[in-house]
Amino acid sequence: MIREAFPATPQMSSSQAPWDGLRVERHRLPSFKAPEVTLLEPFLTITVEGDSGVDLRREGRTDHLAMGPGSVCVLGAGPVPPTHVGGPVTSLFISVRPWMLAQSASDLLSLEEPRLRNAYGVRDPHFFHIGMALSAEIEQGYPGGRLYGESLATALITHLLAGYSDRGLPADSYKGAIAPRRLRLVLDHIEENLACDLSLAELAVVAAMSPCRFARAFRESMGLPPHQFVLRKRIARARALLEAGSAPLSEISASLGFDSQSHFTAVFRKLVGTTPAAYRAQQRH
């Protein structure tokens, strides 16, 4: 759908992503005219580089919009009017799978088919930060795994429903921690599966919650989003292994679910302040 409407092949694509629910592409676009198109799924564009004017033909008039880095367009499924984009400009295109939007809307709004308000050229830092995080994750080869990608997707869709649906989200939809017994089950599941590519959906099933509610309730309960909590648990286990023996770093990395030793080292350095090898050497003195 993206390449049918825009005259460019993607610089980057999430086609190999371990997570589902969103499709992400980055495009470098020249100046072009797009005919009226009909979107089959919600669609966001986030301008990353370049400044351009956009002429949008709707309701018998032409609106001129200034688009620069951080500008966001939010489009619900349905017709999009003819558009002229002045380029060149680099943008992220994010398509939201209808099933994921419907699942989240059913849980948060009790709606099976949410209606989204189209918005053109808005400044939305939250969408911009999520988009850049998704872009970095794709470029780096998905080091965060399914849990991180699904967490970003859930955050994006929750914000989409909160700010751009006809109903919005009720204030109490953001409140509530996980019941202590269920939380204990989730924490035990994490401890027992640190070597696995955990997913948000998997943890939500243990908590008997939907993924979108679980993500917010877990943060309310633990003070961290699930993917950050799991990373810290892995590093805590790594410290114990480094202190206890001389297992190769590659073995420790694999046993804790890191996609590579370099990723393990980078996360360890970020959270501990030194490399695993240096940490082990310090413990021996």
Q: Is residue 170 part of a domain?
A: no
Same domain, 7 and 137: yes
Q: Residue 167: what are its φ and ψ, rounded to 5°? A: -95, -30
Q: Quick check: 43 and 22 in contact, CB under 8 A?
A: no
Instruction: Report d(CA 241, CA 72) in Å as an integer.
Output: 45
pLDDT score at 14: 95
% pLDDT > 70, the chain? 92
Q: Please state, for a pLDDT cut of 90, what percent of the chain lies above it.
A: 53
* Bridge partner residues of 48 (DSSP): none
**Segment 27-80, tens digit of pLDDT:** 988 887 888 888 889 999 999 998 887 888 777 788 888 888 999 999 988 888
Are 160 and 61 in a shared domain? yes
Whether residues 28 and 66 fall in one domain: yes
Q: What pLDDT sits at residue 1?
A: 42
**278: three-class secondary structure by DSSP:** helix
Does residue 241 surpass a pLDDT of 60? yes
Cis peptide, bond prior to residue 81, ω within 30 of zero: no
**pLDDT range class, residue 200, cuts 50, 70, 90:** very high
Q: What is the per-residue pLDDT for 23? A: 94
Using only C-alpha atoms, the chain has a radius of gyration, in whole angstroms, of 21
Do the domain assignments include residue 246? yes
Distances (CA, A) of 179 to 175, 186, 208, 218, 233: 13, 11, 10, 10, 21
Peptide bond preceding 88 in cis form (omega within 30 of 0): yes
58 and 109, same domain (yes or no): yes
The strand pairing partners of 56, in sequence order, are 63, 83
Categorise residue 209: left if φ over 0, alpha if ψ from -120 to 50, beta otherwise.
Answer: beta
Residue pointed to by tokens 């999430």? 14
For residue 107, is it within any domain?
yes
Q: What is the pLDDT of residue 61?
A: 81
Q: Give yes or no: residues 129 and 240 share one domain.
A: no
Domain shared by 279 and 242, yes or no: yes
Residues 176 and 65: their CA atoms lie apart, in Å, by 40
Based on the fold, state whether residues 158 and 270 are members of the same structural domain: no
End position of a domain, from candidates 164, 197, 213: 164
Asked, for residue 11, whether it belongs to a domain, the answer is yes
Q: Which CATH number covers residue 29?
A: 2.60.120.10
Q: Which residues make Cβ contacts (< 8 Å) with residue 156, sequence separation at least 6?
A: 22, 44, 94, 96, 127, 130, 131, 134
CA distances from residue 202 to 74, 85, 117, 198, 207 in whole angstroms, order as listed: 29, 42, 32, 7, 9
Closest CA to 284 of 254, 242, 250: 242
Task: Check residues 183 and 118 and name the one with the higher pLDDT.
Answer: 183
> Number of folded domains in the chain?
3
Instruction: Write out the residue range of the structural domain in which residue 103 sits.
Output: 2-164
100-159 confidence digits (pLDDT tens): 888 887 776 666 667 888 898 899 999 999 999 999 999 999 988 899 999 999 999 989
Coil/strand/helix, residue 45: strand
Residue 6 lies in a domain: yes
